[in-house]
Structure 1
Amino acid sequence: MSFVIVHIQPIMQYCFVEGNFADLSRDLAEYLHISTEIEPLLEANTKDEVLKKLVTASAALNTYPEKEFTAAYNLLVYLVMQSPNVNMFLPRMCEHLSKPITSAPLNGSGLALNVLTTIFNLLQPDNDVRWNVFSAILRLVKNSGNFEILRPQLKKLDQWIEEWELDEEDQRKLYGQLADVAEDAGEQGESYQFILKALRTFPASEVSTKEAQDLSLRALKAALISSTHFDFHDLTSLPTIQALSDSHAEYSELLEIFSEKELEDYTDFRDENEDWIETEALDNSALHRKMRLLTLASIAASTNSKELEYKRIAKALQVPVEDVEMWVIDVIRAQLIEGKLSQQKQVFLIHRTTYRVFGEKQWREVATRLDTWRSSLRAVKEVISRERQQAEAQKERELHEAERKIAGASGMGAGRRAPGGRDNMIEMGTD
C-alpha cells in the first residue's frame, strides 16, 4: 500500500499535501490496517476520535519498512496538526518515537529525531507540549550518543524555559536530562555545567534533601577528578554544596583543601582518610597531581616579588629541583599562571597569576603589595622632583650667565669710538 507523501517545512510551518482530512485519514488507516475502525468515525465527522485511533495504531510504524517510516509519520503529523486539540495526541506520539525502531536498527534514532524535530518546530513557542517533545528528543540523543545534533539548539534553552514557564522542579529535571546526555556523549564539561544549573534550582528548604545531596556529590566529584577544572568557587558558593558539611564531612573538607589550601594539607588529609578515598573510588594520584598544580599557583600568587626560586617551588611541591621546570610548564598549560623560566638564575619569572580564593589573607597580600608600590612610587616621585628642581636651577643659572654675557658685550660696545666721530669733526672745524 502506498500513499501520498507529505512534505513538511517546519520552519515556515507549511505543508504540501493532496486530499482532504477524510481521504488522507483513510489512506493512513488502510496502511495501518484499521480502516474498519475509523470509517464510522469519519462518517460521524468526529475527527479527534479518528486521530486517537490513528495515533494509537502508529506504534506499529516502528516495525514498518524504513523507507516508508518518514512519509507515514509526516502524514500523521499533518493530520494531528489539523486538530484544535493537538496537545491531546502529541505526548503519545513522542512515546512511540522514543521506542526502538526495529525495522531500522542503524538509522532508527535519526529517523525518529527528524520526526520529533519537525513536531517541535511546528508547535508555537509557548506551547507546553514542546517541553514533552524536547524531552523525547533528549532521550533519543542519549541513546544515540550524538550530542552534536543537540548542541546548536542549546543556545535557545533559556528562552525555551521561559516560554514553557517551567517551575523549579521541571527545570531541574530538564537540566538533569541534559547532564546525562552530555555525560554519555563524553562531554564532561557540558555535563558539569548542567549539574550546576540543576543545583541552583533547589530552594533553601530543600538543600539538605537526598536529591540535592546526591546531585551535589556528583558535581563535586566531577570537579575534583576533572583535569581542567581548577576554580572551585562555583561550588563553594552553592547552598547545596555548603550543606555537605553536615552530611558528608570528608567531602566538605576535601573541597576546602582544593579551594584554598596547599599540597601539605592534602597529604595530611590523604594519610588520615586513605580508606575513605579508596571506598569513594577517588583517584589519589590524579588528586595529588592536581593539588601540586594548585599549590604552585598559590605560591606564585602570594609571592611579593616577580621571581620564584626553583628551590622554593621544589619544597612546596615535594619534588626534586630537576623536576621543577616540568611542573611549571604544566601549570602554565593549565592557564593558572603566566611567566617564563630562567635556567641560568634558577627562578621562575612571574608575569601573571590568579588567586584560587580571595579572602582576608588575599586582601592583606594585596594591601602589602599596594603599600610597596606606593612606597616605590613615592620614591620615584621624589627622585623626579629633585631632578626637576636641579634642572630648573641649572636652567636659571644658564639664563643668568647668558644675560651677564649679553650685558658685558653691550658695555664694551658703548666705550668704543666710531671712525669719523666727534674728534674728527673738531679737527675739521679748527682748520
Structure 2
Amino acid sequence: MTTVVPTSEEDPALAVVRFTSELAWADASPEVAEPQVTRLCIEAQENMVTNKWLELASLMLASADLIFSKVSEKDLECIYTVICNLVTKSESSDEEIEMAKVISGKIIQQPNDKPALRLKILFNLYNLLENPHGQFHVYMKALTLAFNGKVTEHIVPSFKKMDSFLQEWNIGISDQRELFLTISNVLKEHKSLSKDSFKFLVKYLATFSGEDAYTMSEAKEEAVRAIVEFVKAPDMFQCDLLDMPAVGQLEKDAKYALVYQLLKIFLTQRLDAYLEFHAANSTLLKSCGLVHEDCITKMRLMSLVDLASDDSGQIPYAVIRDTLGVNDDEVELWVVKAITVKLIDCKMDQMNQVVIVSRCTERVFGQHQWETLGTKLATWRGNIANVISTIQANRITEDGSQAMQGLMIR
C-alpha cells in the first residue's frame, strides 16, 4: 500500500501535471474530468515521493502531448523545461539516459508541429544532461527532427563544433557512421553547403577502413554518391576517394565498376579519356544526373592541372590547345580560369607561347605525393644548411681578416 506525502502545490512538476491534465480534460463534463485530474495528480505525487522520475516524466509527457496545439509556445516551453529538468533528479546514469530517450522520443513524434520549438526543447534537454551517451542520443534526435521538420538552419551552426563534440561523446565507430551520414544528408538540403555535405560523407566512408567485405558493402551506395557529388561539383578538384577501401570496393563491382572508372578518369587522366568513356556510357552519366558539358569543363581544368604538374614547369600553348581540345585563341582563357579557381599559379609568356608554372594543385594526395613532398623538404633543408654553412664560413673569414688588420696596425 502506497503512502502519499502531501506535496506543496507550488512544486513545478505537480503544477504542470495539474495544468496539463485539466486542459486535456477540459472538454469533458466536471463529473468525468475532476476524477481524472485528481487521479493523475495523485499518481504524480506517488512517483515524486518514491523517486520514480522516469514514470513521472512519462505521465507528464502524455498530458503535455495532448495540449501541444492548445497553448502558447511560451507556455509549452515552460512546461517542457519542467519535464526536462527531471533528468537532473535521476540517481544513476542509466536512468538519466532512459529518461532522455523517453523525452526526446516523444518530442520528435510530430516534427511538423512547431518544429523550431521542439528543437529548442531538445537543446535545453541536451544542456541538462551530464552523461555523454545521453547527450549524443538527444543530439541525434535533434538532427532527425531538424531534417524532418525542415528547420535544419537551427542545427547547422553546431557542426563547426563537431570535433569537440566527438571528444566529449567518445562514441564508437557505428555511432560515428550514423552521425556523419545524418549530418551529410542534412547539409545536402542546402546547396550552398554542398562542400560540407561532401566532407562529412567522406568522413562516413573513412570509418569503413579495416572492415571486412560484408561490413564494407553497407557503404556502396554512399560511395557512389560521393563519386557523383565530386564529379558534379564545379569547385572541387581534389579528393582522396581513390585511397578509401569503401570506394575501392567498387572497382570490381558488377553494378558500380563504371562509376569507379569515372572517378579514376577525373583524378588521374585527361579529357580524351573522359570523352572516350562518355561515348560508351552516356546513359550512365545521365542516370547519375551528370551534365556532359559541365563534365567537359571540369575535365579541361583537371587536364590543365595534370599538365602543370610536370616537373619542367613549362607548358607550351600548343600542348594546352591539343589536350583541352580548344582553339588557339582559347588557350589563355582556360589558363585564366585555372588561376581564378586557384588550381595553378603561373605566368603566360605570350612571346614564346608557353605557360610558366610556379605552383599547381594535386588532384590526389596519396603516398606518392607525400614521398615527393618529403623529397622536396629534404632538398630545401639541405639548401638551407648549405646557406648557413656558407654564411658561417664567410663570418669566420671576415673575423680573421679583421684580427690580422688589427695586429698590423699595432
1:333 and 2:336 are equivalent in the alignment:
no
Which residue of 1 is the match for residue 136 of structure 2? 131
- 1:295 alignment partner in structure 2: 303
In structure 1, the residue matched to 2:224 is: 217
Cα displacement (A) at 1:362: 8.3
User: Is residue 293–residue 331 contact of structure 1 (8 Å, CA) maintained in 2?
Assistant: yes
CA separation in 2, counterparts of 1:167 and 1:364? Answer: 33
The question of whether the paired residues in 1 share the 8 Å contact of 2:111 and 2:145 is answered with: no
Say which SS state the counterpart of residue 40 (structure 1) adopts.
Answer: helix
2:280 equivalent in structure 1:
272
SS of the residue aligned with 1:89?
helix
In the alignment, what sits opposite 1:242?
248
Identity of matched residues, %: 25
Offset, 1:287: 1.4
State the distance in 1 between where 2:78 and 2:170 align. Answer: 33
Q: 1:52 to 1:229 in 2, by over 3 A?
A: same
SS in 2 for 1:338: strand
Q: How does 1:246-257 map to 2 (within 5 A)?
A: 246-247=252-253, 248-257=256-265
Measure the CA separation in 2 of the matches of 1:181 and 1:175: 10
Q: Please state if 1:98 is matched with 2:108.
A: yes
1:271-420 matched pairs, under 5 angstroms: 271-302=279-310, 304-306=312-314, 308-357=315-364
| 2:129 pairs with 1:111 | no
Q: Deviations over 1:167-214 (max 9, x none)?
A: 222211111110110101222111111111111222420467542111
Q: TM-score, normalised by structure 1?
A: 0.71
Q: What do you get for the CA RMSD once the two structures are aligned?
A: 3.4
Check the 8 A contact 1:62/1:101 in 2, yes or no.
no
Is the Cα contact below 8 Å between 2:349 and 2:356 reproduced in 1?
A: yes
Q: Is 1:141–2:146 an aligned residue pair? A: yes
Tell me, in whole angstroms, the C-alpha distance in 1 between the residues paired with 2:368 and 2:59.
Answer: 71
The structure-2 alpha-carbon separation of the partners of 1:358 and 1:86, relative to structure 1 and needing over 3 Å to count, comes to: closer
Post-superposition shift, 1:296? 0.8
Distance 1:142 1:321 in 2: 50
1:118 offset after TM fit, Å? 0.8
Cα distance in 2 for partners of 1:364, 1:127 equals: 41
Q: Distance in 2 between matches of 1:133 and 1:28?
A: 24
Matching residue of 2:11: 19
Separation (CA, whole Å) in 2 of partners of 1:156 and 1:140: 19
Structure 2 alignment gaps of length 5 or more: 1-8, 26-35, 384-410
1:38 to 30, 37, 40: 40
Q: Which residue of 2 aligns with 1:62?
A: 68
Other structure's SS at 2:348 match: strand
Distance 1:219-1:352 versus aligned 2 partners, 3 A rule: same
How far did 1:338 drift? 0.8
Q: Which amino acid is the alignment partner of residue 270 of structure 2?
A: E
- 2:142 corresponds to which letter in structure 1? I
Deviation at 1:346, TM superposition (A): 3.5
Closer, same or farther: CA 55–208 of 1 in aligned 2, 3 Å: closer
CA deviation map 1:305-356 (0-9, x unaligned): 44x3322211111100111122111111221101233445433232222343
Please state how far the C-alpha of 1:235 moved relative to its aligned partner: 0.3
Say whether the 8 Å CA contact 1:266–1:291 is kept in structure 2.
yes
Which residue matches 1:6? Answer: none
- The reply to whether residue 87 of structure 1 matches residue 92 of structure 2 is no
Q: Which amino acid is the alignment partner of residue 84 of structure 2?
A: V
1:242-297 CA distance string (max 9 Å, x none): 11111122122212211111111112222222233233332222111111101111
Deviations 1:133-178 (A, max 9, x none): 1012112322455544334422432343344342222211111110
Partner secondary structure for residue 204 of structure 1: coil
Is 1:230 aligned to 2:237, yes or no? yes
Superposed displacement of residue 240, structure 1? 0.9
Q: In the alignment, is the contact (CA less than 8 A) between 2:235 and 2:341 conserved in 1?
A: yes
Q: Aligned with 1:244: secondary structure?
A: coil
Q: Which of residues 156, 162, 171 in structure 2 aligns to 1:166? A: 171
Which sits farther off after the overlay, 266-275 or 210-219? Answer: 266-275
For the 8 Å contact 2:108–2:145, the answer to whether it is kept is yes
Q: Following the alignment from structure 2 to structure 1, what is the Cα–Cα distance between the partners of residues 228 and 321?
A: 28
How far apart, in 1, do the equivalents of 2:57 and 2:77 lie?
18
1:349 aligns to what SS in structure 2? strand
Aligned mates of 1:135, 1:272 — CA distance in 2:
43
Aligned counterparts of 1:254 and 1:309: Cα–Cα separation in 2: 28
Show the counterpart of 1:402: none
Q: Displacement of 1:361 after TM fit?
A: 9.4
Residues 85 and 128 of structure 2 are in contact (CA less than 8 Å); yes or no, is this contact kept in structure 1? no
Rg (Cα) greater in structure: 1
Distance 1:338 1:183, change over 3 A: same
CA shift in 2, pair 1:317/1:40, >3 Å:
same
Checking the alignment, whether the CA contact within 8 Å between 2:343 and 2:360 is kept in structure 1 is yes
Q: 1:360 to 1:135 in 2, by over 3 A?
A: closer
Q: Find the counterpart in structure 2 of residue 74 from structure 1.
A: 81
